[in-house]
Amino acid sequence: MILNIAAYHFAPIDDADALAASLHSVAEAGCVRGTILVAPEGVNLFLAGGETAVDAVLDVLRRDDRFAGLGVKRSWSATQPFGRLKAKVKPEIITFRRDGTAPLDARAPAVDPATLARWIAEGHDDAGRRLVLLDTRNREEFGYGTFENALTLPIGNFTELPEALAPHREALADATVVSFCTGGIRCEKAALWLQADGMRNVLQLDGGILAYFEQVGGFGYAGRCFVFDGRVALDPALKPLVDDAA
């Protein structure tokens, strides 16, 4: 079986080229494939391979105090979903082009998957405020599935989110808004930016949809979660839509 991991962590990085080269070297030696993104704001990984080989890549980061809080989402497939290994250094680990959206000093408030599932069941948060789930992904992604009754926006790129959300801001004023995405990185940036822009009622889903599937399952979610590899999309049991041995 092939171990698939999605992991990201925000941390100040002044040696991005060296770190990317180190991660690529270890991944290549273990025949791991996927994408390694390194930026001055942190790292973002989508990798697949043998469990020992993938863990060897993660160990490079775990030995570095800057990545002590690295969170990893794991799933399994019968076949390798990536065609090759890529390591890139970019300005951002997810492009948003908004200042102050890298949570290097503090994160936006978050809600864990179990609590969100309870809020969905109850129809409100612990303070009795109505709940709105905000999908920060693009139209292609949420076309495979999203939380039931989620607010989706007709965007093709994450950078378009602030403008697309603007017409809804007033109607969301009395709600607790939980932003979510695939693995947590986009909803983290979006929640931080929206909070700084005056929208104080926004939380992020910690770990995104993949963590929700892993910890809760599919309660309140309709369909699958699009992923950025050959598996195409995962069901709430983290099983792929496309898997040659399935």
Residue 39 structure tokens: 């930026």
Nearest to 59 by CA among 83, 99, 25: 25
Contact between 192 and 108 (Cβ < 8 Å)? yes
Residue 16 structure tokens: 């991005």
187 has catalytic annotation: no
Helix (H) or strand (E) holding 69: none
Contact between 156 and 95 (Cβ < 8 Å)? no
Nearest to 210 by CA among 235, 185, 182: 182
Nearest to 212 by CA among 229, 187, 175: 187
Active-site residue identified among 31, 181, 187, 225: 181
What is the CA angle 183-189-190, rounded to 5?
Answer: 100
For the annotated catalytic residues, the residue numbers are: 181
